[in-house]
Amino acid sequence: MYGLFLRHFYLIKSSFPRILDLIYWPTIQIILWGFISKFFSSYSDYYNNTVGVILTCAILYDFLFRSSISFNMLFLEEIWSRNFTNLFIAPLKIKEIIVSLIFTALLRTLIGLVPAIIITAPLFGISILKLGLPLLFLFLSLYIFGITLGLLVSSGLLRYGPSFENIAWSSLFLLAPLGCIYYPIEILPHFFQLLAKGLPLVYIFDEARNILMNGDVDYTKIYFAYFLNIIYLVVSICLFYMSFSRSREKGTLINMGE
Amino acid sequence: MDNYLKIESLHKSYNNIEAVKNISFSIKKNEIIGLLGPNGCGKTTTIGMILGLLKPTSGKILLNNKDIEKNRIETLKKINFISPYVELPKKLTVKENLIVYGKLYGVKDINLKIDYLCDKLRLDEIIYSITGELSSGQKNRVSLAKAIINDPMLLLLDEPTASLDPETGDFVRTFIENYQNEKGNSILLASHNMSEVERLCSSVLMMKNGSIIDYGEPNKLILKHGRKNLEEVFLKLTRKNEF
């Protein structure tokens, strides 16, 4: 496990452009949402006196986005470098590959997001830490969902090969409207509300807004988000194992390595 | 002598193609077997199944009497592989790659092992170089270092000297010979270089259309088919019944 972590750690540390790339997009994203947030907080009744709501949600969403993309990127990196075969003939259990990628994805995510979070205080006078201890629960919940999406996309890559790559990039954009990141679920049409209620994102972002706007914490929503997260995570892990098995039957693993 | 690798009625069909048809063979300890055949004859599929990358449709692969399918991780610790079509992470230095794979294979004293590999494979000058910036010959030596980092009891070599200049090719062949003499491991060598196979292998498996069509010591096969060398035997066997 440590070997696989080390492989990606070496990759990141040896390349300044790679580190810059990891930091650049979250920073730009957060600066942009910082200004939008500033504008809305001045002109919207809903966000009145809650300057950091949009920006905080933007940071949380970016954390989710980065964790999922990081997981996919680690997987794609092996395909692009034609190292896939070497990785899958090493004596690594599938669960070890998953755990290793989970921790490495966290490293990548934090490299990108920590500088972006730090600049929000001097630039916009907002600190995401205002969410207090529940912030930790929200981050963890988002991370689990990000990893779940990463696992689902990686299962597709295992099963269908590199042609599944485009899905890796678009998976989160598909869920973003239903995740109710910046608005309450009631905004969605009824049918979409039904779909959205099955996503942990709705409860996570709703609770983030609730904490910032009302100053109290409704742990039932946080717990329910975890409950949904665990279900999806278990499903995605099972799917990953099934895809691995299927790719051994169909020969995808061997073709992907060459 | 004990059979270290035993293949029993191995069959693989996928995408409506029978890639490997009920083949059986074995490799003893301290033996190099050549796997020959035209492109698409099932060599890579066979190697893929031994490596656990492909699931056999039927049949068994036993490594040291243990079923590979049932003991995947345990057996993978004792196997390694090299192919010009599989590369190591390009952005990492040679040393970083060897550390990574040393860790993945659970090598205990990795620095000592890297020193040994540097000495045996002339890696000293390139150990801090970026792997992707090396020449084909240098990359090949690094891949070979990765392939023996765990002291594999079974080494699978898929065209290990393809696209190498004669000097580097000879270096690799000499290294394989010496390494096998030193460690006494089993080697399965898939190659299109017939002189290489004649030099290194004690026996040869000839494959065509997923089946083993002949098997034996290179010299005996040459005599049996009344040809001058293994290349002519190969051409005779693979062109048979073809227009």
Confirm whether B202 is domain-assigned: yes
For position A183, what pLDDT does the model report? 87
Please say if the pLDDT value at position A49 is more than 70: no
| A95-154 residues touching B, CB cutoff 8 A | none
Strand partners, B204: B34, B216
Whether B209 is covered by a domain: the verdict is yes
Place B243 in a pLDDT band, splitting at 50, 70 and 90.
Answer: very low
Q: Report the domain count for chain B.
A: 1
- Show the domain range for B45: 1-76+192-243
Q: Mean pLDDT for chain B?
A: 90
- Give residue A60's Cα distance to chain centre: 9
Whole-number pLDDT of residue B1: 53
Query: pLDDT band for position B204 (50/70/90)?
Result: very high
What is the separation, in whole angstroms, between the first and last Cα of chain A? 24
B132 part of a folded domain:
no
Does residue B24 sit within a domain? yes
pLDDT for the residue A17:
83
Give the lowest-confidence range in A25-34, A87-96, A190-199, B58-67: A25-34
When CB atoms are compared, the residue of A84, A89, A92 closest to B81 is A89
Q: How confident is the model at residue A9 (pLDDT cuts 50, 70, 90)?
A: confident
Q: Provide the percentage of residues in chain B whose pLDDT is more than 70.
A: 98
Query: In this complex, is the C-beta atom of B76 within 8 Å of any C-beta atom belonging to chain A?
Result: yes
Residue B134, in any domain of the structure: no
Residue B94's nearest CA partner among B28, B168, B24, B146 is B146
For testing contact with chain A, the best of B16, B86, B101 (most A CBs within 10 A) = B86
pLDDT at position A258, please?
A: 52
Is B53–A90 a contact, with Cβ atoms under 8 angstroms apart? no
- pLDDT for residue A240: 94
Residue B3 lies in a domain: yes
Q: How confident is residue B93, by pLDDT bands cut at 50, 70 and 90? A: very high
Q: What CATH number corresponds to the domain at position B63? A: 3.40.50.300
pLDDT at A148 over 80: yes
Q: How confident is the model at residue B220 (pLDDT cuts 50, 70, 90)?
A: very high
The owner of tokens 């899958």 is: A88
Rounded to the nearest angstrom, the minimum Cα separation between B218 and chain A is: 30
- Cβ-count burial B111-148 (b if 16+ within 10 Å, e if not): eebbeebbebbebeebbeebbeebeebbbbbbbbbbbb
ipTM: 0.86
* B95: number of Cβ within 10 Å: 20
- Chain position carrying tokens 């004859």: B41
Six-digit token string for B86: 């599989």
Residue B213 lies in a domain: yes
Which residues in chain B have Cβ-Cβ distances shorter than 8 Å to A10? 92-93, 96, 100
Residue A71 reports pLDDT greater than 60: yes
Residue B37 lies in a domain: yes
Q: What is the distance in angstroms between the Cα of A72 and the nearest Cα belonging to chain B? A: 17
Q: How far is B91 from chain A (nearest CA, A)?
A: 6
